[in-house]
Amino acid sequence: MKKALIAMSGGVDSSVAAYLMKEHGYDCIGVTMKLFQNEDAGVSRKKSCCSLDDVEDARSVAHNLGIPYYVFNFTADFKKQVMDRFVAAYENGATPNPCIDCNRYLKFNSLYHRAEELGCHYVVTGHYARIEQREDGRYLLKKAADPAKDQSYVLYSLTQEQLAHTMFPLGDMNKHQTRMIADQQNFYNADKPDSQDICFVPDGDYAGFIRRFTGKDYPAGDFTDKDGNVLGHHKGIIGYTVGQRKGLGIAAGKPVYVTKICPAENRVILGDNEDLFHRELDVEDFNFISFDTPPAEFRAKAKVRYRQKEQWATVKVTGEHSVHIIFDEPQRAITKGQAAVLYDGDVVIGGGVITG
């Protein structure tokens, strides 16, 4: 009997994933990753997906299923690979996606190695995505069957080795089906709402978190237009992201938006909505999934934010792990630090981090 390590967050998705794996005859071990001390992030224990309540929810489901359950302490890895990266991105005028870093460095790296140590063949999560193996043996990451729940965008960093030892039992399901199963199994968390915020910033105040986390004061600076004319003063560049309109405190007589952040000059550039549209971008740290050796240039659909619909583009490979993307139509608020992910239909070609 093959062994599976189930990443259990205390939510309904990972709970049902554990149930399905057991139903399919796997020898399952339930695991919750302790990622940070709530007090270190300046939030209460009840306002985070990593709270004691969530651990107890996961433990309760594991007990109901009759599977072993453990809590692993990955706080040091999470601080280094997720929280520190999050802070550094904002300090350098970028807007990160910490869920991608958590998947890359924690769920499918630290937890993956722990699974190996425990003799587990698979790491299992409650993500809505699918993995298939091509006739030539290559593993593919595909969108979930339910477009409304598809999470393939945040999984683009998966390697061939990881894909071969990862399972997503919910990939062919929708959320209604997931909750029905949880209800039928009398899981305590069957009606638990989905987490909507970054786990270590549940109040959405990114700048406040960064100040508490670093203990640093980020100086005020100038708001300018694209010609350098001073329009007002900002409260520190960590409080802004490209495309932002609200909370600027500028009386310009018309709507203005953050169009660029210049950390070296401690300057935030404001402009009109049309100034946010661009066709081209550079992507680094690119992970190709569907290609072993990609063509020098190819057509694909791409998206530059989680909820965006993919758009047609020409992709030029500029290095072993870098591409240049030219969209057919201008895209709004392309943002440094976010991910650009390429698709061929339902298949994820690969993805990387936007650098310019």
Query: Active-site positions?
Result: 102, 199
What 3-state class would DSSP assign to 257? strand
What DSSP state is assigned to residue 122?
E
CA pair distance 31, 57, nearest whole angstrom: 12
In this structure, what DSSP letter does residue 254 have? S
CB 285 within 8 A of CB 352: yes
Contacts of 69 (CB under 8 A, 6+ apart): 8, 29, 30, 31, 32, 58, 59, 62, 63
17: three-class secondary structure by DSSP: helix
* Distance (Å, whole) CA 296 – CA 141: 22
Q: Do residues 355 and 285 touch, judged by C-beta distance below 8 A?
A: no
- 161, exposed or middle or buried, with CB in 10 Å at 0-12, 13-18, 19+? exposed
Three-class SS of 291-344: CCCCCCEEEEEEECCCCCCCEEEEEEEEECCEEEEEEEEEEECCCCCCEEEEEE
Q: Specify the 3-state DSSP secondary structure of 246.
A: coil
Query: Residue 155 and residue 292: Cα distance in Å, rounded?
Result: 18
Residue 158 in tokens: 């998966």
Quickly list H helices, 189-282.
206-214
The Cα–Cα gap between 100 and 305 comes to 12
Nearest to 8 by CA among 28, 40, 25, 32: 32
